[in-house]
Amino acid sequence: MYFANARSDTLENNKIQMCLCCWGGRIYHVPEFFKFPDQCVLRDAFNLWLNGFPTFASADGTITPIMPFRLMQPRCLPNGRIKDKFSQEYLPIMRKLMSTPNLPFDINSTTIIPHELVQAAFTLALDYLKTQVSYIFSDPKFKGNHNWSVGTWSKRVCFSEIRKYGTDEGKAKLPEETAQSKKRKRRSS
């Protein structure tokens, strides 16, 4: 495995260290045996989205910083479980949280965002999420059960879930239906 630093930034000066990993004849944003955390709660996923894994250690003990997930591109992730997990579990909910107006940092920043600022931003983003998908926070079926994994959160904020369980106010905020989001009729065989 070969690691090429995309930047010469170091943790000492609070810059994000981004490594590109070359294996299997391609360049990826993650090392060969990297896996996204299983059952990652939303608060932790938000931190990973903003700051990544600056001290990630690969199987052989080599420190291989993983860039902030917000800077990753699905096309630069290996096909299969890793790309699917990123695209299906992290992207939907993080896009929703990052659409929060007036976040207290520059989303394009190349510095590590301090823990206190991440926590303040998470609180702000969660409050914004409550205005966008209020059914999650008011429906007794969902209320009080918000230690979901990031994948469950992504499922709960998708178009079809809002259409199915959402309040009238939440449904009114939905974008126009697309070919992928249209309700499909079942065919009888």
Residues 1-16 have pLDDT tens digits of: 333 333 333 345 667 7
Q: Identify the pLDDT of residue 185.
A: 66
* Eight-state DSSP code of residue 28: E
Q: What is the pLDDT of residues 119-139, one digit of tens each?
A: 999 999 999 998 888 888 887
User: Coil, strand or helix: which one is 178?
Assistant: coil
pTM given for the model? 0.81
To which H or E segment does residue 22 belong? strand 19-23
For residue 177, which amino acid is it? E
Written as tens digits, the pLDDT of the chain (189 aa) is 333 333 333 345 667 766 788 888 999 999 888 889 888 999 999 999 999 988 888 778 888 889 999 999 999 999 889 999 999 999 999 999 999 999 888 877 778 888 899 999 999 999 999 888 888 888 777 766 678 899 989 998 888 888 888 877 777 777 777 766 566 666 766
Q: Identify the pLDDT of residue 126.
A: 93
Q: Identify the pLDDT of residue 90.
A: 95
Residues 6 or more apart whose Cβ sits within 8 Å of residue 175: 159
Cα–Cα–Cα angle for 111, 124, 44, rounded to 5 degrees: 60
